[in-house]
Amino acid sequence: MTGFDQSHLNELEGKSAELEKAQTLNDKASFLTKSEKISWDAGYHEWNDARQVAEKLKEKSGGSFQIDWGTYMVYQAEKKDIPPSLVFELLKVETGGTFDPKLTGPPTKYGHAYGLAQFMKNTGPWIADMADLPYAHSMLFDPFYSIQLSIEYLHYLHGEYGNWNQALTAYHRGIGGLEEYEEKHGHARSWYAKEIQNKAAQFEDPAEKEQS
């Protein structure tokens, strides 16, 4: 053991334990094994940074948004250059602040919406297909799957429009609904887009705080 003191060994053991926790998310997001486009491949530092943010998000949610969900969401959102706080606030609005993964939304003329990200049966399948993910209606109630779909859809919409006002309004109202909103109001700054962006901007990333 020459060259390694006990504190260093403890640090290595701690990192090893954390990596084991990180790898368990592969089991919780087993749907990724069927995708060639999306993976969970976080190393120790990525896992640790995402975990710190996830702890803050859980606190902000009053304990409802689980740390494993947040860790997964932060890592996958950042891979798509999407602010994790924006995804968090979207899920908060969609579930009325409950973050209930088993939520079924109220009836609409298009049907019900389901899960954390509140996808409808006519939206979920084509987003899953676009992202090279498997699809079954029951999977919308899997928090990891629902989070991944929301990230994929936001990434697609932001790529289409180039800004979050249109992307978020389209997420909420549908692409046709966005066009109707813009025709009526002359812009895409819906209450939904404004609330999510304003709340997301208030979030302080613990990693950025340490650097300042």
Name the nearest CA neighbour of 88 among 97, 79, 25, 80. Answer: 97
| Any domain includes 174 | yes
**Domain boundaries, position 115:** 6-211
| Any domain includes 176 | yes
| Any domain includes 89 | yes
What is the count of structural domains for the chain? 1
| Any domain includes 107 | yes
Q: For each of the chain's 212 residues, which pLDDT tens digit applies?
A: 445 455 544 444 444 455 556 667 777 888 888 887 888 787 778 888 999 999 999 999 999 999 999 999 999 999 999 999 999 999 999 999 999 999 999 988 878 999 999 999 889 999 999 999 999 999 999 999 999 999 999 999 999 999 999 999 999 999 999 999 999 999 999 999 999 999 999 987 655 544 43
Q: Considering Cα of 26, then 38, then 67, then 99, what sign does the dihedral take?
A: negative
The enclosing domain of 103 has a CATH number of 1.10.530.10
| Any domain includes 1 | no
Instruction: Report the Cα 99 to chain-centroid distance in Å.
Output: 12
